Amino acid sequence: MTAPVYLTDDEVRRTTLPIGELADALVPAFRKRSEGVVMMPAKTGMHPSGSDAYFHSMPALVPGVAAGVKWVAGSPSNSSRGLAHIHAHLILSNVETGAPIAVVEAGYLTGLRTAALSLLAARSLARPEAKRLGFIGCGFQARTHLQAFAEEFPVRQVALYGPRRQSVTAFEEHVADCYDLETVACSHPGEVLAASDIVVTTVPAHRDLEGFLDARVLPEGAFVSMVDLGRSWDATTVGKFDRCLTDDLEQSAALAHNNAAFSAMSFSGDLSGLQTGDVEGRRSASERIAFLFPGVALADIVAGQMVLERVRATPGR
């Protein structure tokens, strides 16, 4: 039996997988999910008492692609330790034989697939003329989301807010180096919400975090991608969204107890419904729409297989 391939984060990064291309590849996977042929139990987690560390297991089987599981663990305190917030590995197996195909370091991969999920939602739910991006949290996920949205929307301005000035400055420099966009560093998160057509919130979880974002500040027509599971949002204000959607209704129902904002949301559909047409996309220019999502393993499987195929096609590999 051929030994499984091991791919490092650097090798994944060097494939330069376009986020839009990954979003395209997720469309048939979500349609298969709606047909009931994708197997995807809800993610399971362990959260040790007295610690802010977490450990999650995310399995899925996508027919025609691969079966696999992502093991993702981390701690919001890792930044003070000089470590990445998230550590993740993806194991891919042959659907027919169960033989291992690859083990993929999935830190960078997770950033790509998360941005691809947000982009897939935004294609149906954000206003196509959206020009102003807003970020609450300025870490790695903010960078991949900027890449995704700047490629497909006529972005002209990026508003930023983060609790750590160092991260905000680093993100400003990244925007200046890689994009021809105006940046506005805000002293209060409400300024970002009020000035944005698309908002991405990526605030890491920690024991003392209380929701501080007020949905009432958002302008008409805003689309919000809650990468942080809504934990940065004041749960008493999320009712001001006209609609809230998620990536997978079944999994989100199983995980809704995770935080107050998540529990307060009433989901009107998911990505599978949007791809099949069973769920409407944006219905008016004035709708305020939230996309709150815990992430789905089927997206990790698709992304991992695409990266593996790109690596195998590299001369000399």
User: Residue 78: inside a domain, yes or no?
Assistant: yes
Cα–Cα distance, 18 to 63 (Å, whole number): 23
User: Is 125 in the same domain as 226?
Assistant: yes
User: Is 171 in the same domain as 274?
Assistant: yes
User: Is 59 in the same domain as 184?
Assistant: no
Which pLDDT score, from 0 to 100, does residue 99 have?
94
Which pLDDT score, from 0 to 100, does residue 145 have?
98
User: Residue 34: inside a domain, yes or no?
Assistant: yes
User: Is 220 in the same domain as 278?
Assistant: yes
Task: Tell me which amino acid residue 155 is.
Answer: V
User: Residue 317: inside a domain, yes or no?
Assistant: no
User: Is 268 in the same domain as 123?
Assistant: yes
- Integer CA distances (angstroms), 271 to 165, 259, 285, 292, in order: 35, 21, 20, 11
Mean pLDDT of 66-77: 92
Provide the pLDDT confidence category of residue 1 given band limits of 50, 70 and 90.
low
Cα–Cα distance, 39 to 59 (Å, whole number): 8
The answer for 50, left when phi > 0, alpha when psi is -120 to 50, beta otherwise, is left
User: Is 103 in the same domain as 142?
Assistant: no
- 200: domain CATH number is 3.40.50.720
Q: Which residue has the tokens 């610690």?
A: 51
User: Is 92 in the same domain as 143?
Assistant: no
- Counting the structural domains of the chain, the total is 2
Cα–Cα distance, 39 to 280 (Å, whole number): 25
User: Residue 235: inside a domain, yes or no?
Assistant: yes
Which pLDDT score, from 0 to 100, does residue 262 have?
81
Which pLDDT score, from 0 to 100, does residue 158 have?
98
DSSP-assigned states of every residue in 148-193: HHHHHS---EEEEE-S-HHHHHHHHHHHHHH---EEEE-SSHHHHH
**Is residue 35's pLDDT more than 70?**
yes
User: Is 99 in the same domain as 141?
Assistant: no
Lowest mean pLDDT among 66-70, 81-85, 310-314: 81-85
Full domain range(s) for residue 126: 114-296
Q: For the chain, what is the radius of gyration of the CA atoms?
A: 19
User: Is 34 in the same domain as 135?
Assistant: no
Task: Tell me which amino acid residue 110 is.
Answer: T
User: Is 154 in the same domain as 275?
Assistant: yes
**Is residue 315's pLDDT more than 80?**
no
Q: Which residue has the tokens 């790695």?
A: 140
User: Is 164 in the same domain as 101?
Assistant: no
**Is residue 79's pLDDT more than 80?**
no
* Mean model confidence pLDDT for the chain: 94
User: Residue 88: inside a domain, yes or no?
Assistant: yes
- 21: domain CATH number is 3.30.1780.10
What tens digit of pLDDT does each residue of 187-246 get?
999 999 999 999 999 998 777 788 999 999 999 999 999 999 999 999 999 999 999 999
User: Is 303 in the same domain as 190?
Assistant: no
User: Residue 202: inside a domain, yes or no?
Assistant: yes
Mean pLDDT of 102-126: 97
